[in-house]
Structure 1
Amino acid sequence: MELTIYTLKSLAQVISDPYMALILFLLCVFLYRKNKKITLMQKMMVGERFVSPLELTLSQLVLGIIGGIIGSVVLSNLGVMFHENSGIELIFLFSFFLMIIKPRWICFSYSGALLGLLVIAINFFKDNGILKSIYISNISLDVTSLVVLIAVLHIVEGFLIMIDGDRGAIPVFSYKDEKLVGGFAFERYWPIPIAIMLLTSSATGISSGSIDTPQWWPLLKGDVNMKLMATSIAMMLPMYGVIGYKSVTFTESKRKKVFVSGVFNIVYGLIMVALTPIANFGLAG
């Protein structure tokens, strides 16, 4: 219970901290502008808009915050943690870039893959003596924690899609088999606050106070992190990420489409979580 309370207190910083509040404000402005375009397209297609841009933006903001809180509590209780030099914050930075550059790729699986490739490249250059930076050359990423982080975010994404994915759906038309077929295009984004647990050798500069963890914690025991925990302190780092959903359907209703998409995301995340212990104990080959 104390771990959950500490996680919630850490998440409060994403609103109280001026820098984090500015990021949230800019995200809301970005989402509002996109939602304004969506409502204009709705009006062009059917002659009226279904909901206002403000309503679309507020639902994204509120549900995203709720999803982020739930996801953060789950992650902290599972014991998902990263070394302070893991570069895990980049996975959330990548989500911002993907939202702007290629919205269809806004998925933490892609962001995680980019981070993994970056770590592989850094280790390659380090082994060949090309990198001399102490910070970069000491990068340490626990793959088990990374997989579970992505899995939990997929589950959160699945529920957000099921609940809010059909809002702002745009009626679209296409010729199929020489017939005019109607359907819907979906494009939704949710800013989520996430509190990531970091292992650091210093208690300063990350959060206020240390965490008194229970005896059974952590449930997730990654090889890298378990070795580091002996000489490190676990602290919380709150940050923002973006979860997105973009799709189109010509054969299903709006509700059925987002429900099926959400279920697929949840099942995918659960499978990733279930397979993590197998891979961790070396039973997956």
Structure 2
Amino acid sequence: MFPFLDITPVIFQTLAAVFLVPEIMQLFLVVLAIVALQYYRMGRAKERLFGLKPRSFWRDFLVATGFGLVGGIIASYIMVFVGLTLSDSGLIYLWPLAILLMLIDARFLCFAYAGGILALSSLIFGWPKVSAPQILGLVAILHFVEAFLILVSGHLGAMPIFLKNAEGRVVGGFALQKFWPIPLAVMVIVGQTSISGAGINMPQWWPLIKGDLGADLDNIIYSLMPVVAGLGYGDLAAARSPRQKGRISAILLGLYSVALLVLAVLADRQPLIGIIAALFSPLGHELLIYLGKRMEANNSIYSPTSEGVKILDVIPSYPAWQAGIRSGDIILEVNGMAVASRQGLEFALGVYNKVQITYYSMAEKQVYREGIEYGEKEMLGLLPVPEGHEEILMELSTTGPLRRWLNKRVVRKRS
């Protein structure tokens, strides 16, 4: 049996070093600052595009930080359970290669691409001298934790957007963007000992990924060290709600990470499977992106209805939110006057400071009538779905600067 109880104090002591050791704490503060900046920009974008002042970005940032701490604990346990060591994981190569790939396309910053390339190069050409199973195991574990974080919080703070569908019509949707700071306790090899029974006794099958450790595993001394990382998630929800899309994305990413981890463990025993695993790392991730886009290729559920005005988003703490109106609900009447368009709704709301709104709740499948009172300069906090082609669209391209430069060169040559 795996000694979880014996390892738990060591893991938490190591994670505590993130906040107690000045050098590591400084690095963690840098990651926190980067994450906070992303949430600040998202809040400003919502205010700039739609004129709706959102709640303070600090709440979203603190929630993401809390989930990131939980994700770091989960990742630490899995890494120790698998026996993944930082020594052969190729981190020294992963980050530079990932940054270079990002110049081609922003989505290539993900370790699934850099990890697959490094593992394949090591297996075929013998360079760099890294353990392919360790690299791919690291990629798998980080993606498993990301899947967990998407499942529990990927839908929170979704930003409403206007975009064109396959037919060229402007429809509503949500950009799902999340960032989490992740403190980790990772294993390192610190030496060997001839003393039998020193430290924590591990089961005979451990570690699952041995890498290049050789046969004399019983005498190797492992230690845990704190590491700071960050995870990010970006997706689009138009054919389903942000919660539904986040749940589906989390399940698919979780299956991908488990499959990659199994391949990494098998590759530790059979090098030929290592090539399959190295190819699966980027290609499987591309398949996830393709499936995600296919799911949103249908008509958006955030498009005009034949009766009433459908609501794309409602800002928390504003009068409309307090009245119970939520994203996807349909406003039918304002003070007894039927509304059938966004313009008609704006006109009706602009006449009164105290209104009675009749709306259909999509979640509860019922019609409600609520009285709302708000100040002369106060906004209800409603954002109706788009109804025309004049809306502000969101650019969804992830093309990197190098690829944009090459595209411009090609266009110039053709002209």
Q: 1:179 and 1:27 mapped to 2: Cα distance?
A: 39
> In 2, distance between residues paired with 1:22 and 1:44?
32
Kindly provide the CA deviation profile for residues 81-111 of structure 1, in whole angstroms up to 9, marking residues without a partner as x.
243xx36443674599589966533423134
- % of aligned pairs identical? 24
Q: Taking structure 1 as reference, are residues 158 and 221 closer, same or farther at Cα in structure 2, changes over 3 Å only?
A: closer
3-state SS of the aligned residue for 1:36? Answer: helix
State the 1:163 CA deviation. 1.6
Q: Tell me if the contact between 2:75 and 2:184 (Cα under 8 Å) persists in the aligned partners.
A: yes
Task: Give the alignment partner of residue 229 of structure 2, picking from 213, 237, 241.
Answer: 241
Mapped partners of 1:163, 1:8: distance in 2: 22
Match of 2:235, SS? strand
Greater shift, 58-67 or 229-238, is seen at 229-238
Matches within 5 A, 1:172-183: 172-176=161-165, 177-183=167-173
Given that 1:196 and 1:237 are in contact with CA atoms closer than 8 Å, whether structure 2 keeps it comes out as: yes
**Cα–Cα, structure 1 residues 90 and 64, in superposed 2: closer, same or farther, change >3 Å?**
farther
Equivalent residues of 1:95, 1:241 under 8 A apart: no
Tell me what 2:147 maps to.
158
CA drift of 1:29 comes to: 1.6
Q: Kindly tell me: are residues 215 and 35 of structure 1, through their superposed partners in 2, closer, same or farther at Cα, counting changes over 3 Å?
A: closer
- SS in structure 1 opposite 2:213? helix
CA-CA distance at 1:66 after TM superposition: 0.9
Quote the offset at 1:262 in angstroms. 1.0
Partner residue, 2:21 = 17
Matched, 1:258 2:246: yes
How many residues get paired? 263
Secondary structure class of the residue paired with 1:167: coil
Q: Is 109-118 or 237-246 further displaced after alignment?
A: 109-118
Instruction: Give the equivalent residue in structure 1 for 2:264.
Output: 276
Name the SS for the 1:247 alignment partner.
strand
8 A contact 2:163–2:172 mirrored in 1: yes
Q: In 1, are the aligned partners of 2:98 and 2:108 still within 8 Å (CA)?
A: no
Confirm or deny: 8 A CA contact 1:38 1:168 kept in the other structure. Answer: no
RCO comparison, higher one (Cα < 8 Å, 6+): 1
CA contact (8 A) 1:4 1:77 kept: no
Change (3 A) 1:91 1:74: farther
Do the aligned partners of 1:142 and 1:225 also contact (CA within 8 Å) in 2? no
Q: Partners in 1 of 2:257 and 2:95 — Cα distance? A: 21
Q: Deviations over 1:19-60 (max 9, x none)?
A: 111111112222222211111111233332444211121122
Kindly report which structure 2 residues correspond to 1:195-206, keeping only aligned pairs within 5 A, or say none. Answer: 195-201=185-191
Q: CA deviation at 1:235?
A: 1.7
Give how far 1:63 is off.
0.8
The Cα RMSD (Å) is: 3.2
Distance 1:214 1:100 in 2: 40
CA contact (8 A) 1:158 1:263 kept: yes
- Match for residue 104 of structure 1 among 83, 104, 107: 107
SS for the counterpart of 1:225 is: coil
The answer to whether the 8 Å contact 1:4/1:76 transfers is: no
Matching of residues 90-239 of structure 1 within 5 Å: 90=92, 93=95, 97=99, 103-113=106-116, 115-116=118-119, 123-124=126-127, 140-176=129-165, 177-201=167-191, 211-216=199-204, 218-227=206-215, 229=217, 232-239=220-227
Change (3 A) 1:29 1:276: closer
| 1:116-163: CA deviation from partner (whole Å, max 9, x where unpaired) | 478679955xxxxxxxxxxxxxx7532223222221211110011122
The 8 Å contact of residues 190 and 243 in structure 1, kept in 2 or not, is answered as yes
What CA distance in whole angstroms lies between the structure 1 residues aligned with 2:168 and 2:11? 56
* SS in structure 2 of the partner of residue 198 of structure 1: strand
| TM-score, length-scaled by structure 2 | 0.56
Instruction: Kindly provide the amino acid, as one letter, of the partner of residue 188 in structure 1.
Output: K
Conserved? CA contact 2:177–2:235, under 8 Å: yes
CA distance in 1, matches of 2:148, 2:241: 18
- Who wins on radius of gyration, i.e. which is larger? 2
